[in-house]
Structure 1
């Protein structure tokens, strides 16, 4: 079995898994200085775009293609590659099709899709310079394209809005919701969906702190929901929403859904859909024992079964803590898997490292954090 991986940056998360499975691995990468190139059996430095990966996939006679792309920019071109390789060469490409990517990659189209399918999402307006400006604040302004908090501003006055519009001209405007940010990853292949564990990415803040800088937890627990049965029911409701969105949008491979719990009215709203590997994948793996990137490898080899994933899911407690720089020899591919009930991994680039902890329960996870000398009191959540 031979697989082509497009992109080297995330390959360290699957390098050991592919070796264990006896898979011959080939990487295409546009950056000759990218990390993880030597972890594959072979690699090719190629120009940006999908033309060279397509030619290499055909020439190398691979059995499947696994894109390891964590940014939105190349996803449309990737979807076109998928269409061609699957149609003309019967070669599976574990990525979402063009229509799915086009909707998910545009916040306005995403809103239209959600409303059309009666899926709750915050009310919005499209505003531009010279138009009447909303008077209710705080107001969240966004651009149609962008990820990771890019070009998002929480405005507190008309002056803030005018300043934003002077720079961008137009904006998608939503009311600011005082609540909890939520993420849930979804696996979907051959019309079968498996929503994974809902993750809490912390409380919303007026200063717009990105979730990467917050303490994150899994499984999700809302303080207003006190009984375990209520929490379980709420988490299942989140998973049901994720599965519904994935099926309606025809997502393939791995994706994640961003939602928000509104503390004022107790409603849950869908914000965004991301048809690519998620930044919460370590929390997902820690809490459920399901590694989304391993699962997309199985999809490419033809061994993936949704029923088996559901049977393998565990119920651990997990924390993810931003640490900036933390001295450890474990920040490499040899230590990217969780073992047993109480374990931890470190990941991320210099200055932006994070430690993800698995515990049998919350008490054990906090005990591990203390053993690592991590002070959680100063981290927003």
Structure 2
């Protein structure tokens, strides 16, 4: 069995798994300085775009293609590559198709999709320059149609804030700010079968737009004075239904907010790419989304099997900046037992993800690692 992977940055998450599974790996990457190139059996440095990866997949006679791309920009080209390789060569490409990516990659299209399908989402307006003075309900979240990781997002507290934003961007999506809890859940979907994984707590919403990467995150979601089992089930069903309606494939990530005022969940967006919460998912339920993509490409993936293998642990993820450890390596990307931890991420942006038998054990491990959680929070 031979698989081709597109993108080297996330390859360390699957390198050990493919090696242990006896899978031969080919890697394509546009940046010759990218890490992880040497972890594949062979690699190609190619120009940006999908034309060269397509040629290499055909030339190398691979059995499947797994794009490991964590940014939105190239996803539509990947979707077109999927369409062509699957149609003309019968070669599976573990990524979402063009229709799904077209919706997920545009926040305005996502909003319209959610509204048309009667899925609860924060109220919004599309505004242009000169309209800021007409708005009278604040705070508002101002966004651009494209962008990720908090880019080009501003919390407007007044009409003047809106005007200042529109002076920089001629138009915006203006969304009602919700005071509540940020949540993510990953969805696996392949061959018409879906498995929503574990809802992840990413912290409270803030007026200063602090990104969840800089907060302590936990899984599974647990909210005081709310039936946790019912809430997690509801979020899983929302994720499953959206994945089915959009026709996503591979792994996707749904972002929601639990509104404090009424304890209702509101969907923000869906991302048809590997999620930044994938380590928390693996720690808390024992399912590694990127490894599942490998199984999809080899034809060995089964939704029923994933459900049977799903475990219940408590997971904690802590931003640490730079932590003195020699374990930030592909060789240490597996959780060992019910009380274990891994470190991941680039220099200055490292995170430690802890698996515990329960919440108490997870925090004990954090203490042993000398992590000052109060300072981080």
Q: TM-score, normalised by structure 1?
A: 0.98
Residue by residue over 1:49-77, the C-alpha shift from the partner in whole angstroms, topping out at 9 and shown as x without a partner, is 00000000000000000000000000000
* 1:322 aligned residue: 319
Alpha-carbon distance in 2 for matches of 1:152, 1:224: 31
User: What is the match of residue 377 of structure 1?
Assistant: 374
User: How do residues 222-233 of structure 1 correspond to structure 2 at under 5 angstroms?
Assistant: 222-225=223-226, 230-233=227-230
Distance 2:98 2:91 in 1: 17
> How far off its partner does 1:302 sit?
0.1
* Paired position in structure 2 for 1:107: 107
Distance (whole Å) between structure 2 residues aligned to residue 245 and residue 379 of structure 1 = 34
**Residue segments in structure 1 that go unaligned for 5+ positions in a row:** none
Instruction: Report the Cα distance in structure 1 between the residues aligned to 2:376 and 2:120, rounded to whole angstroms.
Output: 30
- Give the C-alpha shift of residue 135 in structure 1: 1.2
Q: Distance in 1 between matches of 2:265 and 2:150?
A: 20
Tell me the TM-score normalized by structure 2.
Answer: 0.99
Aligned to 1:337, what secondary structure does the other structure show? coil
Matched positions, count: 376
Instruction: Tell me the equivalent position of 1:307.
Output: 304
| Equivalence for 2:124 | 124
The CA deviation string for residues 187-231 of structure 1, in whole angstroms up to 9 with x for no partner, is 000000000000000000111100000000000011231xxxx20
Preserved CA contact (<8 Å) 2:130 2:163: no
| CA offset digits 1:119-153 (Å, max 9, x no partner) | 10001000111225311111100000000000000
CA displacement 1:317-370 (0-9 Å, x = unmatched)? 000000111110001111111010100000001111000000000000000000
Moved more, 127-136 or 215-224: 127-136
Runs of 4+ in 1 over 3 A off after TM superposition: none
Gaps of 5+ in 2: none
Distance between the aligned counterparts of 1:117 and 1:275, measured in 2? 18
In 1, Cα distance between the equivalents of 2:71 and 2:134? 32
Q: Tell whether 2:23 aligns with 1:23.
A: yes
Distance 1:89 1:115 in 2: 37
1:379, distance to aligned residue in structure 2 (A)? 2.3
Residue 244 of structure 2: SS of its match in structure 1?
Answer: helix
Q: Aligned-residue CA RMSD in angstroms?
A: 0.6
Contact 1:141 1:172 (8 Å CA) reproduced: yes
Find the residue that maps to 2:134 and give its secondary structure. coil
2-structure distance, mates of 1:242, 1:361: 25
Task: Map Cα deviations across residues 6-41 of structure 1 (whole Å, 9 max, x no partner).
Answer: 000000000000011100000000000100000000
Partner of 2:60: 60
**CA shift at 1:266, angstroms?**
1.2
Distance 1:371 1:350 in 2: 22
Among residues 242, 265, 269, which one is paired with 2:266 in the alignment?
Answer: 269
Question: Shift of residue 165 of structure 1?
Answer: 0.2
Give the superposition deviation at 1:158.
Answer: 1.1
- Aligned residues of 2:322 and 2:350 also touching (Cα < 8 A): yes
Q: Partner of 2:354: helix, strand, or coil?
A: strand
State the distance in 2 between where 1:37 and 1:82 align. 23
1:295 correspondence with 2:292: yes
Equivalent residue for 1:256? Answer: 253
Report SS of the residue matched to 1:308: helix
* Match status 1:82 vs 2:79: no
The answer for the alignment partner of 1:343 in structure 2 is 340
Q: Which residue of 2 aligns with 1:170?
A: 171
Q: Does the 8 A contact of 1:127 with 1:133 survive in 2? A: no
